[in-house]
């Protein structure tokens, strides 16, 4: 059964809307004189947006600033009404749209937990049974009886998320709010959202952290100028979305008049087929990459070898792999293709593919940046590291 129905929803705002009574009367009179035409400009934040969501399902929403993402969430949360179309939710809806949304600043953290629970339709006994979990998750126990107006934004976030995630809503609506917390708290939040999905709750998630969105949401909606550009599986949506506005340069050609020439270099995600190579693919940090170098050896050269390198934008060489090291033997004369598969080890950022061709005694080609590409996703708040190996660290008790 669908717990969220969004059917042909449109939302119109008036630009420059007047606020005081006299100006409102003047605006109404002007509309009458002009046959009902609006005095001010109109902005359609949404136009004919439709989707459905069942229990235990999740939907990510992506789009550039002003695309209408937050408007969808506000309509679902009941903060604003659609101009046309129908929005219907079944059960309790908990919305995290801004830090502290739904909190009364003069009330303490303890009082706001009960207030939010009452808004969600929970009984006092139900709230009390989950109270300890909420406080433990939020980590604000010391300040529980302090008015929340004295909380930092991080404390606001911790308590707001803990309340929304633990009071068992049927639909959980989360905007970019998780960006406020630290890395440890973000991991806790993501874990809690995954648990909520397993418990059968519907999740609608908006975030510019596309890697997290891809982890939580198998399906995504791409909004552009208030309209649905695409709705489908999240990996496909993210690639199309990123490719639409991020010019990449995974192709390049370097020609040499020596004994060999590099004809083409491609960098693609390993699961892509040949038809997708020509579409400037968007590469995610979690992708296994395939680097293909097409070259032509015009003259036979004993001991001819090829190296493929990867270098960061800062000049750090991350990989330097030789054909001969892989046991493939030396290069013979003719049209050749060298393929290097790189597991998902690299952090997000810009990289250059380099090509070296030569022997132990002679160098024919040395191009450190014959092609460039970008990796997108989350740097997990560690932008300074180049590799994400996630190696296990063993911690044992010492017997001193």
Q: Are residues 235 and 259 in the same domain?
A: no
Average pLDDT over residues 74-85: 90
52 lies in some domain:
yes
Q: Is residue 383 domain-resident?
A: no
Bridge partners, residue 350, by sequence: 374
CA-based end-to-end distance of the chain:
60
Asked whether residue 112 falls in the same domain as residue 162, the answer is yes
Q: Is residue 28 part of a domain?
A: no
CB–CB of 373/242 below 8 Å? no
Tell whether 38 is covered by a domain: no
Q: Which residue has the higher pLDDT, 24 or 229?
A: 229
What are the C-alpha distances in Å from 341 to residues 243, 277, 330, 338? Answer: 22, 15, 19, 10
Where in the sequence is the domain holding 135, given as residue range(s)?
2-6+48-244
In a domain, 188, yes or no: yes
If asked whether residues 133 and 259 sit together in one domain, one would say: no
Note the pLDDT tens digit of each residue in 53-71.
998 899 999 988 888 898 9
Q: Does residue 366 share a domain with residue 309? A: yes
Q: Same structural domain for residues 319 and 186? A: no
Residue 289 neighbours by CB under 8 Å, 6+ apart: 267, 268, 269, 270, 283, 341, 342, 344, 346
Q: How far is CA 38 from CA 18, 41, 125, 157, in A?
A: 12, 7, 51, 40
The domain boundary residue, chosen from 217, 244, 271: 244
Please give the backbone phi and psi of residue 298, each rounded to the nearest 5 degrees, phi first: -90, -25
- Give the tens place of pLDDT for each residue, 102-161: 688 899 999 999 988 887 777 888 889 989 999 998 888 999 999 988 988 778 888 888
Q: What's the confidence (pLDDT) of residue 51?
A: 94
Residue 386 within any structural domain of the chain: no
Structural domain includes residue 232? yes
Report the candidate in 328, 327, 345, 340 with the shortest Cα–Cα distance to residue 391: 345
Q: Tell me, yes or no, whether 139 and 85 share the same domain.
A: yes
**Are 58 and 137 in the same domain?**
yes
Percentage above 90 pLDDT, the chain: 25
User: Residue 316's pLDDT is what?
Assistant: 84
172 pLDDT more than 80: yes
Cα–Cα distance for residue pair 252/254, rounded to 1 Å: 7
* 179-213 pLDDT tens trace: 656 667 777 888 888 888 888 889 999 887 777 88
CA torsion angle 44 47 50 55 (round to 10): -10
In a domain, 24, yes or no: no
pLDDT of the residue at 307: 92
Q: Residues 238, 257: one domain?
A: no
Identify which of 343, 345, 255 has the alpha carbon closest to the alpha carbon of residue 294: 255
CATH number of the domain that residue 279 is part of: 2.70.50.60
- pLDDT value for 342: 93
Q: In terms of domains, do 79 and 130 share one?
A: yes
How far is Cα 283 from Cα 288, in angstroms, rounded to an integer?
Answer: 9
19 pLDDT band (50/70/90 cuts)?
Answer: very low
Taking the C-alpha atoms of residue 370 and residue 311, their distance in angstroms, rounded to an integer, is 11
The more confident residue out of 255 and 95 is 95
The predicted model scores a pTM of 0.67
- Cα separation, 128 vs 344, in Å, equals 45
Domain co-membership, 216 together with 258:
no
Last residue of a domain, one of 224, 244, 264: 244
Residues 54 and 194 in one domain: yes
> Residue 233: helix, strand or coil by DSSP?
strand
Residue 318: per-residue pLDDT:
92
Instruction: Say whether pLDDT at 297 is over 60.
Output: yes
CATH number at residue 234: 3.40.50.300
- Overall number of domains in the chain: 2
63-to-68, 93, 102, 188, 240 alpha-carbon distances in Å:
8, 23, 26, 25, 11
Q: Looking at 208, 225, 244, which one is the last position of a domain? A: 244
Task: Report the b/e string of 133-147 with b at 16+ CB within 10 A.
Answer: ebbebbbbeebbeeb
Q: Are residues 183 and 280 in the same domain?
A: no
């Amino acid at each position: 059964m669908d717990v969220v129905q969004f059917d042909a929803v449109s939302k119109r705002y008036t630009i420059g809307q007047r606020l005081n009574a006299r100006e409102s009367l003047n605006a109404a009179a002007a509309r009458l004189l002009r046959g009902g035409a609006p005095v001010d400009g109109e902005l359609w934040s949404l136009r004919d947006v439709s989707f459905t969501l069942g229990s235990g399902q999740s939907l990510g929403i992506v789009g550039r600033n002003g695309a209408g993402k937050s408007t969808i969430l506000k309509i679902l949360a009941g903060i604003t009404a659609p101009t046309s179309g129908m929005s219907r939710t079944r059960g309790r809806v908990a919305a995290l749209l801004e830090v502290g949304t739904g909190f009364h600043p003069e009330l303490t953290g303890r009082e706001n937990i009960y207030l939010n629970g009452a808004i969600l339709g929970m009984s006092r006994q139900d709230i009390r049974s989950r109270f300890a979990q909420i406080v433990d998750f939020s980590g604000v126990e010391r300040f529980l009886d302090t008015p929340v107006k004295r909380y930092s934004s991080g404390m606001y976030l911790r308590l707001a998320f803990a309340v929304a995630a633990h009071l068992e809503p049927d639909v959980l609506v989360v905007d970019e709010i998780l960006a406020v917390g630290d890395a440890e708290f973000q991991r806790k939040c993501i874990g809690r959202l995954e648990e909520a999905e397993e418990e059968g709750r519907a999740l609608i998630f908006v975030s510019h952290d596309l890697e997290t969105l891809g982890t939580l949401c198998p399906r995504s909606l791409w909004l552009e100028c208030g309209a649905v550009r695409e709705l489908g599986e999240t990996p496909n949506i993210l690639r199309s979305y990123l490719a639409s506005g991020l010019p990449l340069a995974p192709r390049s050609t370097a020609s040499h008049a020596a004994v060999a020439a590099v004809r083409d270099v491609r960098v693609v995600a390993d699961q892509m087929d040949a038809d997708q190579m020509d579409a400037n693919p968007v590469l995610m940090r979690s992708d296994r990459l395939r680097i293909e170098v097409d070259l032509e050896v015009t003259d036979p050269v004993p001991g001819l070898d090829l190296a493929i390198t990867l270098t960061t934008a800062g000049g750090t060489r991350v990989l330097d792999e030789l054909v001969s090291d892989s046991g493939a033997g030396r290069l013979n004369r003719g049209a050749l293709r060298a393929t290097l598969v790189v597991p998902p080890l690299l952090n997000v950022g810009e990289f250059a593919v380099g090509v070296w061709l030569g022997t132990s005694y002679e160098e024919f080609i040395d191009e450190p940046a014959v092609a460039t590409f970008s990796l997108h996703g989350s740097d997990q708040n560690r932008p300074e590291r180049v590799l994400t190996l996630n190696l296990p660290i063993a911690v044992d008790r010492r017997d001193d």
